[in-house]
């Protein structure tokens, strides 16, 4: 477990913001990922919310130099295995089930499991997890809630995702228990639709420059 924790930390420490992408057309995956990498965002989470997701992960993993492709919205063991087979180097889930934990323990690819309450965090700590996704961040209580967890649950690091934007990202990144944040604002649908990759690189560079 320690090895997988270190592997996950090495990915999440690459940048302050991990792009969370919903890709409708796999043909946009490579230019989009290249634009994000050019702006300094190498770790990229592609969510399994569309039929194109697995193909998009495969393309990014195989064709985008410097990119670290990950899969998000993983809900069960079958999706976990499919995402790993497609080339995912890290797996992200909105919550956790025993089935998902079992799949993760059998794999060398690290899991960033989702938690929203102190009890969920404690249960995952018992399973050996030190790095968690806090989701949905804004709806579950925001930065002030996460700050309140930092003392009683010291030693646990979070990647908050959900409702985070350029406007509030620093509120999270300034917390001692936050390693990075996840956000979709760096790849707006309208820019992807227009193929405005330079615009996305600019947003990525802005996000990459965020500090706590």
Active-site amino acid positions? 45, 133
The SS3 assignment for 61 reads helix
Q: For helices 77-86 and 98-105, what crossing angle results, to 10°?
A: 40
Please list, residue by residue across 32-69, b when 16 or more beta carbons sit within 10 angstroms of its beta carbon and e when fewer do. Answer: bbbbbbbbbbbbbbbbbebebbbbbbbbbbeebeebbb
Torsion-angle region of residue 171: left (phi > 0), alpha (psi -120 to 50) or beta? alpha
């Amino acid at each position: 477990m320690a090895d997988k924790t270190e592997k996950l930390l090495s990915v999440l420490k690459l940048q302050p913001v991990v792009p969370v992408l919903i890709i409708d057309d796999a043909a946009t995956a490579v230019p989009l990922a290249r634009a994000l990498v050019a702006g300094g965002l190498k770790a990229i989470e592609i969510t399994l919310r569309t039929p194109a997701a697995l193909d998009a992960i495969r393309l990014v993993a195989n064709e985008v130099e410097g990119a670290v492709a990950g899969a998000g919205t993983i809900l069960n063991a079958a999706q976990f295995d499919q995402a790993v087979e497609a080339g995912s180097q890290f797996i992200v889930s909105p919550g956790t089930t025993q089935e998902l934990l079992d799949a993760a323990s059998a794999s060398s690819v690290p899991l960033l499991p989702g938690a929203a309450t102190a009890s969920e965090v404690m249960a995952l700590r018992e399973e050996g997890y030190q790095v968690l996704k806090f989701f949905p961040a804004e709806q579950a209580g925001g930065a002030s809630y996460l700050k309140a967890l930092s003392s009683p649950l010291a030693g646990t690091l979070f990647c908050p995702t959900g409702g985070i934007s350029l406007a509030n990202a620093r509120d999270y990144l300034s917390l001692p228990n936050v390693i990075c944040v996840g956000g979709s604002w760096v790849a707006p649908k309208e820019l992807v639709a227009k193929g405005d990759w330079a615009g996305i690189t600019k947003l990525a560079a802005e996000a990459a420059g965020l500090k706590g």
